[in-house]
Amino acid sequence: MLALATPYSGSPMETPIRLLIVAAGLPCPEVQWVVQDVAARTAIWLDLAWPELMIGIEYEGGVHTEPGRVLRDIGRHTRLVDRGWAIYRYTKLDVYGERDRIVAELTRARRTRLRSAGFRAP
């Protein structure tokens, strides 16, 4: 477990998602991955990412339900998808109650992206 520790998590709930991913046998995602938009001179930090596959994983805590934040998150999500990222957003309900679904979704996402890149997916 110590090998998986990182001081870079943006919120406490990012760690349980990351540990769930690794415990399921998936590769450990990058933490706080920066997606830069040079043209717009902006950067978006993804909580977790497999950048080589352009898969982002976000934990959406209570702060993400505030009206201003919802509007920013919608725009942020659209910009990422427009750039080719597959974004998976999870809440505490998912982390505490739908762990198997999270693993299944992320496993399918990796398999799909690997296949589309021409790699033989397990």
Query: What residues does 114 pair with on adjacent strands?
Result: none
In this predicted model, what pLDDT tens digit does every residue of 14-40 receive, in sequence order?
Answer: 889 999 999 999 999 999 999 997 777
Torsion over CA: 87, 91, 93, 97 (sign): positive
Cα 87 from Cα 78, distance rounded (Å):
10
Q: Is 88 helix (H, G, I), strand (E, B) or coil?
A: strand
Is 20 within 8 Å of 98 (Cβ atoms)? no
Tokens 């201003």 map to which residue?
Answer: 68
- Domains of the chain are 27-116 (3.40.960)
Q: Which amino acid is at 85?
A: W
Share of residues in the chain with pLDDT > 90 (%): 60
In this predicted model, what pLDDT tens digit does every residue of 57-82 receive, in sequence order?
Answer: 999 886 666 777 788 888 889 989 99
Please say if the pLDDT value at position 7 is more than 80: no
Q: What is the pTM of this model?
A: 0.85
pLDDT of residue 119: 77
Of the pLDDT bands very low, low, confident and very high (cuts 50, 70, 90), residue 121 is low
